[in-house]
Amino acid sequence: MMTDPSMNLLYKRHVDLLKNVLLNEFGTENGLRIAYLLYCMDTSQPYDLDKVINIHRHQADKVEALRQDPNGQHNYRERMFGFPYTMIGRARLDSLQTMVETVLCENISGDFLEAGVWRGGASIFMRAMLELWEDSDRKVYVADSFQGLPPPLLQQDENLNFHLDPTLSVGIDVVKGHFARFGLLDDRVKFMPGWFEDTLRASEPSQLAILRADGDLYKSTMDILDALYDRVTPGGFVIIDDYGAIPACRLAVEDFRRAHGIDQPIHTIDWTGAYWRA
């Protein structure tokens, strides 16, 4: 039987440090620095070097706002330009930890898959958790176009022009490099590059204990659920990252659940994340 390390103090400190790094909680001020420099470029103003060095004094209110927003609901520009490994925020990362630990403690069979990974942070976290639990069997599947989001094609996604945001496009080599930085790029990390409608119907993985859907759009969310929901093991977790923030994503989830007679309760995590157990 696998040993549960979660009560070990060193384990707790390791996991908390990992979250701090993935969320860029140690470098929030750097996002403000870059945002300030970009503002100077956009407005053709000379930058003030003292503001760059001592941004914590010049923008103390924004520094505090970032610290008071651990779940990432506000301050989008400043958070993005801090270049965290994940945008999911503290509450969703804490919830993901609980789900991984539950799966391992209850021995729920199946691999882990994240569809829509951005810079890879949540997938890196799941792979790191498997390492800490000395689970040598499960794999982490990393599914993404690695070229940003597609343009809206359905009426439900009208005006959702995420494809125009260059910060959402992160290449596969960059994401692989992030896994390598954490010493976690190995043959148990399986990349699935391409649009979800083309890639997710592959025969692997055959079973999933955790399915994390971060597709933003109605179509992308529906593509994920259509292709993979039947592979989620009973007792496994289905996580919807944009359930609260993007009405089109929420509608896709509601339409899918209604069409498939899914009545397991949906639990909210924070201002946008939600999940249910299969």
Looking up residue 228, the CATH number of its domain turns out to be 3.40.50.150
Average confidence score pLDDT of the chain: 96
1 pLDDT above the threshold of 70: no
Q: Which of 205, 206, 274, 272 is nearest to 240 (CA)?
A: 274
Same domain, 115 and 45: no
14 is a domain residue? no
Distance CA 73, CA 118 (A): 17
Range in 38-52, 66-80, 143-157 with the lowest mean pLDDT? 66-80
The reply to whether 231 and 119 lie within a common domain is: yes
d(CA 63, CA 78): 10
Same domain, 125 and 148: yes
Structure tokens, 224: 């994920």
Q: Which domain holds residue 223?
A: 89-277
Is the domain of 114 the same as that of 218? yes
Question: Quick one: 177 and 206 in the same domain?
Answer: yes
pLDDT in tens, 175-211: 999 999 999 999 999 999 999 999 999 999 999 999 9
Structure confidence by residue, pLDDT tens digits, 22-31? 999 999 899 9
User: Does residue 13 sit within a domain?
Assistant: no
**Exposed, middle or buried: residue 90 (CB in 10 Å: 0-12, 13-18, 19+)?**
middle
Residue 266 CA, distance from chain mean position? 19
Is residue 7 assigned to a domain? no
Residues 167 and 235 in one domain: yes
Task: Say yes or no: 65 and 114 in one domain.
Answer: no
User: What are 241's two structure tokens?
Assistant: 């990252």
Whether 19 maps to a domain, the answer reads no
pTM: 0.95
Residues 179, 262, single domain; the answer is: yes
Q: List, in sequence order, the alpha helices (H) in 23-142.
A: 28-42, 49-53, 55-58, 60-67, 76-80, 89-105, 121-132
H-assigned helices in 142-203: 172-181, 196-199
Nearest Cα to Cα of residue 143 among 31, 221, 248, 244:
221
Residue 131 and residue 45 share a domain: no
What domain count does the chain have? 2
Give a three-class secondary structure readout of 91-110: HHHHHHHHHHHHHHHCCCCC
Domain ends where: 80, 101, 117? 80
